[in-house]
Structure 1
């Protein structure tokens, strides 16, 4: 059985839990990080020297970095639909995974923390507005792609949809002003029909 270390309200942990649910592999989720602590303990740092979540244990194999873990779970426990057998098609899907981390995550964090996690007296409204403007532009890029294909992974759902899909849940459920991006919205509505998405991602925002 897999062990997935990390608190379930972490976007990066949600990616891994969603991937595991899609494959049907048995796993144990061990709460760690944030209010749960653990990540500073020497035993945990021996598994993940970053002191972050998630961390995956599969027998003797230990992995950290959420996108890497998603790729691994999909490759080992998923099918060709989730992992995508063709190398070129898989690379086109995987770029969205890396884009979510390199381009979307930081401005999204400024929005999320100032809308959901910080008390009003600690919110940075300038950072929130700047992050919101950037996220609107970035999600417009996603919308343009989804105008041409049903999923970020191509014609079928795959690993390329998982990271951005985790951000999309908070994007649509936060009390913010969003531009009308119909293709993004339709894609999100499709994700919401997936039992694995409902279980791993669609939990209260905290």
Structure 2
């Protein structure tokens, strides 16, 4: 039995929930990271010493890091449409997954936490402005890529790259920006993702 540990508002938890919904894969969900189930409990730390969500349990197998979980589940279900088996095609998907995790997320984090979550630790206007500049630059890169493919991040087909990047795109549109740069390919991409029932359920579901 698959079990996912992590609070629903977490973008990284929602990656996994969206993927499971796309694959129609049943998974139990426990809301760790709440006052009722804090992450500093010994039980959780024994599963992930980083005290971060999500964590996946598949019987006796335990895995953390959201993108790794997504890769594991796609491989487990033999979904080569989501994670290709040929080296070049797989590398392209993983390239964009890594870009989302290492570049895009780090760019938007300060601005999003300050403008949307109203975090006291992210209230420096200069750092918010810098975060917005970096975020916009990377969204322009994404817009250029989507203009080339005309569909999804790596081409005509929906893949794991779209699961992880799609949630970051949702945060772009959920953040109040005074001068949002026009990104027509990203606009079209977001509209296309929004037609997917699984994205409506775990992506564009009211949570920023």
Aligned residue for 2:155?
154
CA contact 1:110–1:128 (8 Å) conserved in 2: yes
CA contact 2:83–2:93 (8 Å) conserved in 1: no
d(CA) in 2 for partners of 1:37, 1:118: 23
Aligned residue for 2:173?
172
The Cα offsets for residues 88-120 of structure 1, whole Å up to 9 and x where unpaired, read as 111101111111111111221111111111168
CA contact 1:23–1:78 (8 Å) conserved in 2: no
Aligned residue for 1:108?
108
The residue correspondences of 1:28-177 to structure 2 (distance < 5 A) are 28-77=28-77, 79-118=79-118, 123-149=123-149, 150-176=151-177, 177=179
RMSD value over aligned CA atoms?
A: 1.8
Q: Which of 188, 196, 199 is the matching residue for 1:197? A: 199
**Structure 1 residue runs without a partner (length 5+):** none
| Closer, same or farther: CA 128–114 of 1 in aligned 2, 3 Å | same
**Structure 2 residue runs without a partner (length 5+):** none
Q: What TM-score do you get using the length of structure 1 for normalisation?
A: 0.93
d(CA) in 1 for partners of 2:73, 2:200: 19
Aligned residue for 2:184?
182
d(CA) in 2 for partners of 1:23, 1:126: 42
More divergent stretch after superposition (139-148 vs 26-35): 26-35
1:15 aligns with 2:51: no
Aligned length, in residue pairs: 206
CA contact 2:122–2:128 (8 Å) conserved in 1: no
The Cα offsets for residues 39-81 of structure 1, whole Å up to 9 and x where unpaired, read as 1111111111111000000111100000000111111125221
d(CA) in 1 for partners of 2:200, 2:156: 21
d(CA) in 2 for partners of 1:30, 1:162: 21
Q: What TM-score do you get using the length of structure 2 for normalisation?
A: 0.93
d(CA) in 2 for partners of 1:78, 1:168: 27
More divergent stretch after superposition (81-90 vs 138-147): 81-90
1:25 aligns with 2:7: no
| Closer, same or farther: CA 78–178 of 1 in aligned 2, 3 Å | farther
Offset at residue 171 of structure 1 (A): 0.6
CA contact 1:93–1:153 (8 Å) conserved in 2: yes
